[in-house]
Each structure stands twice: as C-alpha cells, then as structure tokens.
Amino acid sequence: MIAEIIAAGSEMLTPHRQDTNSLFLTSELNALGVTVAFKTIVGDNLQHLTGAAAIAIARADIVLFSGGLGPTEDDLTREAVASALGITLHRDPELLQQLQARFAKRGIPMSPNNAKQADVLAGAEVLPNANGSAVGQFLHTSVASAGRIVILLPGPPREIKPMFAAECRPRLAAILPTRFLAKRILRMALLPESQVDARTAPIYRQYPDVETTILAHSGEIQLHFQSAAANLAEAQARVDELAGRIELEMDEAIFSSHGESLEEVVLLMLGMRGLTLATAESCTGGLLAQRLTAIPGSSRYLLGGAVVYADALKTTFADVPPELIASAGPVSGPVARALAEGIRNRTGASIAISITGIAGPGPGTGPDEHKPIGLVYIGLADDLGTQVKELHITGDRDRIRWWASQHALELIRQSLL
C-alpha cells in the first residue's frame, strides 16, 4: 500500500512557508503500515490541482489532500478531486444548515460563497471538524480502480490533527490489515554518526524485521527502532531485544532509552539525587540556562546563574580575580575553573557549570587575541572538586554556542552517573 500526500495552497510555493502537515500524516500512515511514496505541493489553481489529483489517483492507493477546503474562491480541492475522479459534488442540506446556524450564532450574514463548504463528493463520508467550519471527506471508491481511498482534510494543523485521529485513523484501521507497531528511541550526545553506525550496524542488521533509522542533528544521534507484527507483545519484544543489545554496546553513551531529551535527563538525575545546579555562561550567553529552564518543573533543581559576558561580570557575579583574567585570558582553563567554583560558592548549588569560549566570527580580545575561534573551556565544580574540559568546536557562531551547551549538559550527566 502506498500513499501520496497533496498539500494545496499557493503560500507553500513561496520562499516563506512550507508544508508541515505531511510529517504528521506520514507518521500516522507509517503506523498503519502505509508507506508514503510521493508528496506534491500545488497552488490554488484549478487546472494544476486537478492534474495533480489525477496523477496521484493513478499512482497511489491512498491519496490524502490537506488544505483548500475553505469558503473562498481559492479553495478548490473539492472541485479538483471531483473532476479528477469524474464524479459529482452534491450540496449536503444538513451541512448547509449547520453552516447557516454557525453564521446565525455569530450574528453575521453568510455569503453565498460559504455554501460551497457543504459540497460533498458523491459516495464520500463527511468528517466533522471540531475546530473549524471546513469538514473533511473520506471516499473509499472503486471509481478509478478497486479499493482506492481518497481523503480530504483541512489545512490548519489544529484542525487536521484531531480530525485525522478521530475520523481517519479508525476508518483506515478498519480497511487495512490489522497490524501492531512497537517503537523505541535511544539517544546519544556528541558522538559522530559514523561511529555510532559502525558500532551498532553489526547488531541491528541481525534484526531485518525491525526498521532502524539513525538521525543525526545538533550534537545528538538518535536510533529509532520500529517493528510491526500480528500482535503487540511480539512487536514490542523484538524492538526491546534489539534496543537492549544496543544499550549494552553503547553503554553510558546512551543518555535516554525512552526518548527523553538531554535537558530532561539531566534534571531527572538531579532530582533523583536531590541536587541543585547553577550556571556561569560567557560565550553561550544564557543558552545553557535557557535550555534547562525550557523544561517544566526545572525550577526545583536549577537555581539559576549568571551570564558573565563582560569580563567585569566574571568578577562581580563569580569572584574571578581580575588578575587571573588579565594573565590567562577570559577564555582559559583557569578562568573556567574559577567561574565554576565562584558561581558554586555564590549560589550554594551542589553542582556548578561554567562555559567560556570564542564563538566568533570575530577574534577574542586581550590575551585571547590569538586563540582560535571555537576554543571553549567548560568547568564543573561539585563536592569531588573541579574538572575543566578544553574543546575545539568547528563551525559558525550558532554551532559553536549550541555544541558548547551540549558538551556542558553531557558533562553534568557524566558527573551524575
């Protein structure tokens, strides 16, 4: 079974807007055992949309449309699909009444244009919309070929998502072969994708029935495992067995075996140990604290900290001796150490972390003038003492800052193991 997703809307053919519904729809279809083979994005043009609909109906078993169900003259999905399938649209009197009632309730007159939202493809079931006026349509037809399914859905994410869950998922599950899907996600920080693949491929290749996907982005590698079977226990057992073997191989490099983010894991570990954390950030300028405070409930373990961007603030907020900054340079191991220890003393946190580095694109100043862009020092102070890590991060300012914060989180996690 293959599917095609057609996103209708001229705004998605500009440099500013992108179809995002197809990611959600793909995830839903995959869970039902359906592969997405084509995605088409087409503008609000009847000829283009009709052509795209005819092509999709000819090459896919299931065709999903998102968008183009509104009341304006630009909303053409209903007409295009009817024309492509060679079937008629009829105006549903019950839907028309609902639309009129909707307008009456708001005390505004309904323009004649709006009535087209009551037009339904011959043979289609109407899918109610809990969050808007555009209903969906579900057509299980043998018009074009046996067993073809055509689904019309609204464009706004807050309408399409609940409509798919409530109306399409059960209808598709009833038509498609029964199938149970088990998933697991393992997450690792900072390792190169090639290294993770080299170490895990000999294991996951032994599980051809489990679909393994490696995703790499922003200092993190994710391993996604997915297995389908005739019953859930069987699917879950296969996925868990593979995940278990990978966990043995990658060991402490895995920070999350059920999908939690690195920030969440760090906060969870602090919580389990009853510890608190404070930060002193120079080149990351608040990024590390911001990532941690983005997690609900972080206030129990993260006390806060200082953004010590200017050298003077390194002294004001973390008591770093000005002579040390002048001699070693603000981007140096000794300053990272003093920052971590200073912020720990000031805040009384169990663990303190400091970051100082040259994020570029300009060079450092004073004693740091000739140090390379991407040089970063991270300090961690706790009851066991203070450790300092020297890093050389490649890439632009954004990447250097992000990876520095990622290294800091991973260092905290390692210290809590």
Say how far apart CA 85 and CA 99 lie, in whole Å.
Answer: 26
Is the CB of residue 255 less than 8 Å from the CB of residue 209? Answer: no
| b/e 148-164 (16+ beta carbons within 10 angstroms → b) | bbbbbbbbbeebbbebb
Min dist. Cβ of residue 170 to a copy of itself (A): 20
Stretch that binds a copy of itself, among 139-147, 169-177, 232-240, 290-298 (CB under 8 A): 290-298
Q: What is the DSSP annotation of 326-365?
A: HHH-SSSHHHHHHHHHHHHHHH--SEEEEEEE--SSS---
What are the phi and psi torsion angles at 305 (to 5°)? 165, -155
Stretch 192-221 residues interacting with a copy of itself (CB under 8 A): 213, 215
Stretch that binds a copy of itself, among 79-87, 119-127, 189-197, 309-317 (CB under 8 A): 309-317
Q: Beta-carbon neighbour count of residue 137 at 10 Å?
A: 23
Min dist. Cβ of residue 74 to a copy of itself (A): 15
Q: Does 298 bind a copy of itself (CB under 8 A)?
A: yes
Site string for a copy of itself, 70-99 (x = CB under 8 A): ------------------------------
Among 46, 55, 191, 237, binds a copy of itself (CB under 8 A): 55
Stretch that binds a copy of itself, among 171-179, 230-238, 263-271, 313-321 (CB under 8 A): 313-321
Stretch that binds a copy of itself, among 79-87, 192-200, 229-237, 340-348 (CB under 8 A): 340-348
Q: Does 347 bind a copy of itself (CB under 8 A)?
A: yes
Q: Does 45 bind a copy of itself (CB under 8 A)?
A: yes
Structure tokens, 377: 């020092």
Structure tokens, 397: 């300012």
Q: Does 367 bind a copy of itself (CB under 8 A)?
A: no
Say how far apart CA 69 and CA 79 lie, in whole Å.
Answer: 10
Q: Does 42 bind a copy of itself (CB under 8 A)?
A: yes
Site string for a copy of itself, 251-280 (x = CB under 8 A): ----------------------------x-
Min dist. Cβ of residue 294 to a copy of itself (A): 7
Say how far apart CA 5 and CA 172 lie, in whole Å.
Answer: 15
Judged by beta carbon, residue 151 or residue 289, the one nearer a copy of itself is 289
Which 3 state secondary structure label does DSSP give 261? coil
Say how far apart CA 368 and CA 375 lie, in whole Å.
Answer: 10
Judged by beta carbon, residue 45 or residue 100, the one nearer a copy of itself is 45
Among 70, 71, 305, 379, binds a copy of itself (CB under 8 A): 305
Say how far apart CA 274 and CA 362 lie, in whole Å.
Answer: 41
Cβ neighbors of 63 (< 8 A, separation 6 or more) are: 3, 4, 5, 6, 53, 56, 57, 148, 149, 150, 151
In this structure, the strands spanning 302-307 and 277-281 are parallel
Q: Does 406 bind a copy of itself (CB under 8 A)?
A: no
Is the CB of residue 237 less than 8 Å from the CB of residue 183? Answer: no
Q: How many residues bind a copy of itself (CB under 8 A)?
A: 70
Judged by beta carbon, residue 184 or residue 401, the one nearer a copy of itself is 401
Stretch 8-37 residues interacting with a copy of itself (CB under 8 A): 12-16, 18, 20, 23-24, 26-27, 30, 35-37
Among 9, 21, 32, 40, binds a copy of itself (CB under 8 A): 40
Min dist. Cβ of residue 220 to a copy of itself (A): 13
How many CA atoms are closer than 13 Å to the CA of 82, on its beta-carbon side? 17
Q: Does 39 bind a copy of itself (CB under 8 A)?
A: yes
Structure tokens, 18: 């992108």
What are the phi and psi torsion angles at 365 (to 5°)? -120, 165
Q: Does 231 bind a copy of itself (CB under 8 A)?
A: no
- Which residue ranges make up the site for a copy of itself (CB under 8 A)? 12-16, 18, 20, 23-24, 26-27, 30, 35-43, 45, 48, 51-52, 55, 59, 213, 215, 224, 279, 281-290, 292-294, 296-299, 302-310, 312-313, 316-317, 346-348, 360-362, 397-398, 401
